[in-house]
Structures are given as C-alpha cells and as structure tokens.
Amino acid sequence: MKAKFQAIKGMNDILPQQSPAWQALEALLLRLMRQYGYAEIRMPIVEKTALFKRSIGEVTDIVEKEMYTWTDLSDDSLTLRPEGTASCVRAGIEHGLLYNQQQKLWYMGPMFRRENPQKGRYRQFHQLGVEAFGYQGPDVEVEQILLTARLWRELGIADDVVLHINTLGDSASRAAYRDLLVEYFTTHKAQLDEDSLRRLSSNPLRILDSKNPALKALIEAAPKLSQHVDQASKEHFARLQEMLTAAGISYVINDRLVRGLDYYNRTVFEWMTDKLGAQGTICAGGRYDGLAEQLGGQATPASGFAMGLERILALATESGVLADLVDAPDVYLIAMGDAAETQAMVLAEQLREQCPKLRLVVNCGGGNFKKQFKKADRSQAEIALVLGDDEVASGTVGVKFLRVDKAQQTLEWSALASSLATAMGKDLK
C-alpha cells in the first residue's frame, strides 16, 4: 500500500460537520460589516517579505521566527501573509485609497504563522480584519469596539470576554519610556531569557509582551508606560473611556498591554477570555497612525483590529449560539423504479425553480424504500417526498413528515410548490 498523505502540522481541514458553524459566523460577520458601513477589500495571500519586515517590525515574534518565506524563481523574497494590516495599507497606498480620504474596510481569510500548534494556535488560521483610515479621533475606535461587542452578544459569548484597553502614547513618549525600560531590565539582566535579552537593545517594549511565565514578576514590577504618556494621548484616551462608558461597554485598563506588533500608537485593545486556556486573546487591535508613512505613503491616521476566527468559533461552539448547529435539508426526495427516478429529477428541478429557498436532496444511487427512508432520516430532513410507480401513474407524490407526528399526505405535481410551502409552514420563495 502507498503511504498516505497528511495535512501540514497546524494547518487544518475544515470538515463538513464544522462548516455550518463557520458559515454562520461568516454570515454574521458579513451582516455586521454591512450594518456598520465597512466595505470589503481582498488582498493577495503572498506579498514581498520586505512589506512585513517594515510594517510588523524586525524584532517581533512574527518576523523573527513565524513567517513562511521563500525565494521565488525571479529571486524575490516572498512571504505568506502572517496578518492583513500590512497588505491592506500597501493596497490602500497603491490604489490611492488613503491620502486625504476616509475608508472603512474589512477583509477575511487565512493567515500563516509558523507557530507551535496547540489548541487555539495554528499555522494556518483565519482572521477577520477591520481597518479605518483617515479618522483621528477615538470615535472610530469606539465604533470598532462596539462592533465587536455586538458580535459577542450575538454569538452568545458576551459573558465570556473582557475588554482590555491601554494607551501607548505618541512616539516621543514611547522613546522616553523605552530608555527607562532599558535601564530597568539592564539592572535585572540576569533574570531575562534569550528572546528578552535580544529585545533589550532592539525593542525593549516587546519584553512586556513576553509569554514566558518566568518573567511575569519582573515585568509586573517594571516602570509603567502610563506615567510617560503625552498629554494629547492622555486626553484621547480619556475621551475613549468616556464614550465607551456612555455606550455601556465595561473595560479594564491594562498597562501591560503593548501588543506584539511595532506599528501601534495611542489606543490598543484586546478582548480576552479565560475559557480557552493560554490562547486567551480573541480579538486585538488599536491605532497605528504611523504605518502608512512607514510604508511609503502619506501620513494617514488609522485604527483597526483583527480577530482570530478559530478562537471565536471555539468559544461560540462551546457555550454560544453556534453550539450544535446542524445544516439539514428541508426535503429528501425518495424515488424507486426507473420511471420514478426519471420523474424525480424533473420534479426536483421544478421545485428548485419555484422554491429557491427550499433545500432539497434527491436520493441518488437507488436502493429500496426502506434504505432510502433510512438515508432520508439520517439527512435530518423534515420531510420525505416519496415517488414510486403508483405516484408516477397518478401524477402525485407522497409527503411524509419525518420529525413531527403528522399524517402522511398526497400532493399533486402541479401544485407541489405551493402545497409544500403550506405543509411546512415556511416561505420557500
């Protein structure tokens, strides 16, 4: 026997029984994006490696060790996108969407990071990304937070998540704070791990973002960023809080929240849960006013976030509305004998024409009535339509209710569409 193939570690198949939950989540997200007036942008999955190096930052987990990068035949270094913001800004600059304009955009799709696979952490995972360009104030940040809060409510997971917010200040306040951090961590150099030692000279703020539990106490005792934030950023942050409170959103201020990527300034936020073990952040974002310029465009204020769909699904299929979703047809059409099988195809097409909302499965592959009824039952359809020689002769079809105790009916072909809608009590048009 030949050896079987297996999917790449950390890259998952989404199987038929999982698809209903994915589709329900995606449909809900699409509806929310329309409700809030955000427009979809689709970017390629592959970009030049330099784009991610320059935007995400050289000294980040992603760029240092998580990117799938290769040299293609024309000697370009290319990378599978590890996130969407860089591509979105690149596309915005390239197509003139950013300068002197306002844009509210979203995208959804797979991202790739070479991480250690575990529950909630995969090498191919999916994100919804939302970005707003051309808005300076905290209002747009509040809007984005409200949008996510609405999503948690609709998914039935609002009680499982907590909003953490922080402000990073402007670049001058970050620079001043950076010096203090270097001083602090240098004094405690002996306690740092390898990653943190490297970051001490290149990007000390990132030490605060370390996931190493051994560093927790040291990080707790480090100087606080909040004491070094500039006045304008403080006012921005105060206004954000005022608007969140007025909108009924509770939050905690988490002054250890610095985010893993380099491009943030002022507001950063994360929605966290304690229901998913170590992978507690389901949605993260903030303001990144400097990124467009950093990527060669005009200065453009920007605010956005990304959510990890696998983590959201894990929550919403455990405790929320996506638990036990089944994706069953309405009707299973049973046909026995050549004449009935032929007529079944004709009737089914007629029904699909007249009832576009009807979900109709035609029995294929024959079988006696007993076997076909078994398949109908397993399909979880509400109704079995039955066509045999007698029905073909009389131009009728038998209607059997599979889930409720209701007498069998006989319907004429000519009136099948309308009778079916009545029998099911559903609008099928």
- Site residues (vs ligand ATP, CB under 6 A): 83, 113, 115, 120-122, 125, 127, 260, 279, 281-284, 306-308, 310-311
Q: Which of helix, strand or coil describes residue 165?
A: strand
Residue closest to ligand ATP when measured from CB atoms: 308
CB of 330 to ligand ATP, least distance (A): 35
The amino acid sitting at 371 is: K
CB of 284 to ligand ATP, least distance (A): 4
What are φ and ψ of residue 78, in 5° steps? -120, 155
Q: What is the token pair recorded at 200?
A: 């001490």
CB of 8 to ligand ATP, least distance (A): 13
Q: Is 189 exposed, middle or buried (0-12, 13-18, 19+ CB in 10 A)?
A: exposed
| Beta-bridge mates of residue 39 | 105
Q: Measured from the CB atom, is 281 or 343 closer to ligand ATP? A: 281
Q: Measured from the CB atom, is 127 or 363 closer to ligand ATP? A: 127
Over its C-alpha atoms, the chain yields an Rg (Å, rounded) of: 28
Element (H, E) at 343: helix 338-354
Q: Measured from the CB atom, is 157 or 283 closer to ligand ATP? A: 283
CB of 129 to ligand ATP, least distance (A): 8
CB of 187 to ligand ATP, least distance (A): 27
Q: Measured from the CB atom, is 83 or 391 closer to ligand ATP? A: 83
The amino acid sitting at 92 is: G
CB of 349 to ligand ATP, least distance (A): 43
Q: Which of helix, strand or coil describes residue 260?
A: coil
| Chain center to CA of 201 | 35
Q: Measured from the CB atom, is 228 or 311 closer to ligand ATP? A: 311
Integer Cα distance of 138 and 327 in angstroms: 41
Integer Cα distance of 360 and 348 in angstroms: 7
Strand order in the sheet with 360-362: 360-362, 331-335, 383-387, 396-401, 409-412
- The Cα-based distances of 408 to 93, 107, 315, 365, 411 in angstroms read 64, 48, 41, 25, 10
Q: Measured from the CB atom, is 279 or 379 closer to ligand ATP? A: 279
Q: Measured from the CB atom, is 258 or 386 closer to ligand ATP? A: 258
CB of 13 to ligand ATP, least distance (A): 15
